[in-house]
Structure 1
Amino acid sequence: MIFRIQACFAIIMLSFCFASCSSALKRSCEATNWFEYGELVAKRGQRTSTDSFVSQCEKEEVQIDHSALSQGFQKGLSEYCTPEFAYQLGRRGDPLSQDMCSGGQERLMKPKHAEGIVEYCQPSNGSAAGATGKKYNQICPKTLEAAFIPEFNKGRKKFLAGVMIQRQGEADDLEREINDLERRQQQGVFEIQNLEFEKTRLVHHMSGIATGQNTVQPLSSTGKTLQQLESDISNLRNENGQMGNEIRQRRARQTSLRKEAREAQAEILTL
């Protein structure tokens, strides 16, 4: 029986998370500037036809401005397919998607990209590169990699330590918010119980009037009518329901934050 209840609760929580994530995704899709996003996709060396965000927005049945998306992509592509941009990609340790470009541009881009990679893979740049948060993607030539990796890992450890502290701090803040919400929710439960008691007493009193046993006008000890009590009870239940939703949202976010903190700690131990 307990297992069945736990399983049902897990299913409810999972369904709630899916609904919440879907709603957030839809809002994000609706707020997107599709020209700017198309430009961004091109500068990442990707195509809009295979972009996961565009695909997700289509599944959410959000109206995408495909004309603006295409125009932005072409603008980004015109910048991407230049030797200067290829050099900057290499300098950041990012790969080059040569199949994005045509007209012989790739022949000029490849050597500039390699030049940027050489600068990126210098030991003096390793710590700064690791501290950006990007994982090492095996982009350095073997001749430079041996000296680069130890320095990169130093920066990576600093980054992960910061992530671990930040995520745990955010999770602790959420715990305080959850405790406050649970306290307010419990207070609401007590208020509902008191109002229900008043309502029951008032109903009995009204029954007495109907049978001639009571002659005093039906008012609760707080001076409220039956309708007012029912309205207050309904409002409190709605407020408690909203707080329950907020608690579940924060718990889901807290779980995610603590997972990220554990993953960061685990990776530090491997470096």
Structure 2
Amino acid sequence: MNRGIRLLRLGAALAAATLLASCASMSEQECLSADWREQGYRDGRNGQPLSLVESHREACAKVGVTPDLAAYKAGRAKGVLEYCTTDNAVREGRRGASYRNACPPELEGRFLDHYRAGRRVYDAEQRVNSLDSRSRDLQRRLEKEKDEDKRKRLRQELRDLDWSLRNARNDVYDAERRLRY
């Protein structure tokens, strides 16, 4: 086998091993020094689902550490109260974060209402950004185009895109306005 191919395969195998190792929820050192109540609190505050403790259990089993489930759950219960606020729900939605079913049932409905409102703003802003980018691209193409028929089609496409962009900006405005009420 060619030496270059062998080196390429070896490099790919090392990269894959590194990637798999980096997927662990906690490092060996974190496992060995874990305060499980604090870890649960951090995970809850960050909106992580309770099932993440299973990933911690798998990561830490490699060094012979078992999570203190009672301490983890107690810490997570406090942390999740900070995560599951309406202000945070809007923030999470506006930044396009995924909701990972972290909130307890008594907080989830209200959280999700505010999260979805924030997510509507995010989605509308993403649409505006996409249309802006497409508009700039069409404008560059129009500037370079020499054929008059193609220029005419590009100008029409830009007019249509301007209409879509105006509607998308109105959607952002409406979504933001709804957040205030």
For normalisation by structure 1, the TM-score amounts to 0.39
Tell whether 2:166 aligns with 1:166.
no
Tell whether 2:39 aligns with 1:89.
no
**Which of 119, 140, 149 is equivalent to 2:103?**
140
Aligned 1:43-54 pairs, distance under 5 A: none
CA, structure 1 residues 76+136, in 2 after alignment: closer, same or farther (shift >3 Å)? Answer: closer
Give the 3-state SS of the residue equivalent to 1:105 in structure 2.
coil
Show the counterpart of 1:63: 12
Count of residue correspondences: 131
- 8 Å CA contact 1:129–1:155 kept in 2: the answer is yes
Show the counterpart of 1:177: 140
Letter in 1 for 2:52: S
| Percent of aligned positions that are identical | 21
Letter in 2 for 1:119: E
Tell whether 2:91 aligns with 1:128.
yes
For normalisation by structure 2, the TM-score amounts to 0.54
The structural deviation recorded for 1:155 is 1.8
Show the counterpart of 2:54: 99
Give the number of the structure with larger relative contact order, counting CA–CA contacts within 8 Å between residues 6 or more apart.
2
Give the 3-state SS of the residue equivalent to 1:140 in structure 2.
coil
Letter in 2 for 1:89: D
Q: Which has the larger radius of gyration?
A: 1
Q: Deviations over 1:238-260 (max 9, x none)?
A: xxxxxxxxxxxxxxxxxxxx9xx
Give the 3-state SS of the residue equivalent to 1:118 in structure 2.
helix
CA, structure 1 residues 93+80, in 2 after alignment: closer, same or farther (shift >3 Å)? Answer: farther
> d(CA) in 1 for partners of 2:86 and 2:76?
18
Structure 1 runs, 4 residues or longer, greater than 6 Å off: none
Aligned 1:8-27 pairs, distance under 5 A: none
The structural deviation recorded for 1:111 is 2.8
- 8 Å CA contact 1:87–1:112 kept in 2: the answer is yes
Specify every segment of 5 or more residues in structure 1 that has no aligned partner in the other structure, as ranges.
1-57, 188-257
> d(CA) in 1 for partners of 2:99 and 2:132?
27
> d(CA) in 2 for partners of 1:75 and 1:148?
26
> d(CA) in 1 for partners of 2:116 and 2:131?
22
> d(CA) in 1 for partners of 2:24 and 2:79?
24
> d(CA) in 2 for partners of 1:90 and 1:157?
24
- 8 Å CA contact 1:79–1:85 kept in 2: the answer is no
Letter in 2 for 1:77: S
> d(CA) in 2 for partners of 1:112 and 1:75?
17
The structural deviation recorded for 1:120 is 0.8
> d(CA) in 1 for partners of 2:24 and 2:77?
25
Q: What CA RMSD, in Å, does the superposition of the two structures yield over aligned residues?
A: 3.7
> d(CA) in 1 for partners of 2:73 and 2:93?
24
Give the 3-state SS of the residue equivalent to 1:159 in structure 2.
helix
- 8 Å CA contact 1:98–1:106 kept in 2: the answer is no
Specify every segment of 5 or more residues in structure 2 that has no aligned partner in the other structure, as ranges.
1-8, 149-164, 176-181
The structural deviation recorded for 1:79 is 6.6
